[in-house]
Amino acid sequence: MSRASEIGLALFILAASAWPATAAEWTYGASAFVFDPPNDDAFLSPILEADRGVLHFEGRYNYEDQETGSVFAGRIFRFGEKVEWTVVPIMGLVLGRTDGVAPGVKLDVGWQKLTLSTESETVIDFEDAGASFVYTWLEGTIAASDWLSLGLVGQRTKTYETGLEFQRGPMVQASRGPGWLAFYWFNLDRPDDETFVFAGGWEF
């Protein structure tokens, strides 16, 4: 492990221990995204999450870059009644083909049948500051029924290049109980840049 990685690991441990443990029970979630970009091989990006009280922990693979893993710790803030807000500042450590630290924030806003979700992070590369980047995933949905949501999605990502700085398109999500399935269709107006994403998850 490089000296920079050791420093990053120390920073992550400090962030993870910044809040006291609570007596609340653990809750878990698992999801996986299959990206199918144009002119490239499809790849899988699994994500594991664990919450305990106000604490949030997360592990990812193939998310910030190919053949790269990341771990995050954060604190959950919830407020609002008619408009419900959930804000989770996070700090992460990224190791693999890309090595760095990744401060970021997750935000969910819900009002009646409308939901807005966004996740943004800045990956600060240990080896090359010029390779650092900002990644953002943004989606807005409306509940068409108890189990079906329709919406729009946008992202800017480093894991593949399609000639557009901002990827965007429609999405559909079906859910039942603790499980959900989703389909994202990026750049449908640009046939040469179309990217398909299939996703599913389970909370337990």
Region 161-185: mean pLDDT is 88
What does the domain layout of the chain look like in residue ranges? 3-203
Query: What is the band of 120 on the pLDDT scale with cuts at 50, 70, 90?
Result: very high
Going by their DSSP bridges, the two strands 68-75 and 55-61 should be labelled as antiparallel
Q: Which CATH architecture group holds 3-203? A: Beta Barrel (2.40)
Q: How far apart are CA 14 and CA 167, in angstroms?
A: 35
The first and second tokens of residue 204, run together, are 């337990």
Going by their DSSP bridges, the two strands 84-96 and 133-143 should be labelled as unpaired
Contact between residue 200 and residue 181 where contact means Cβ atoms under 8 Å apart: yes
DSSP 79: E
Provide the whole-model pTM.
0.86
Q: How far apart are CA 121 and CA 188, in angstroms?
A: 26
Q: Is the pLDDT of residue 165 over 90?
A: no
Q: What angle (nearest 5°) sits at the alpha carbon of residue 113, between those of residues 110 and 117?
A: 40
Look at residue 12 in the predicted model and tell me its pLDDT: 56
Query: What is the band of 23 on the pLDDT scale with cuts at 50, 70, 90?
Result: low
At 26-72, the pLDDT tens digits run 999 999 999 998 888 999 999 999 999 999 999 999 999 999 999 99
Look at residue 131 in the predicted model and tell me its pLDDT: 84
SS3 39: coil
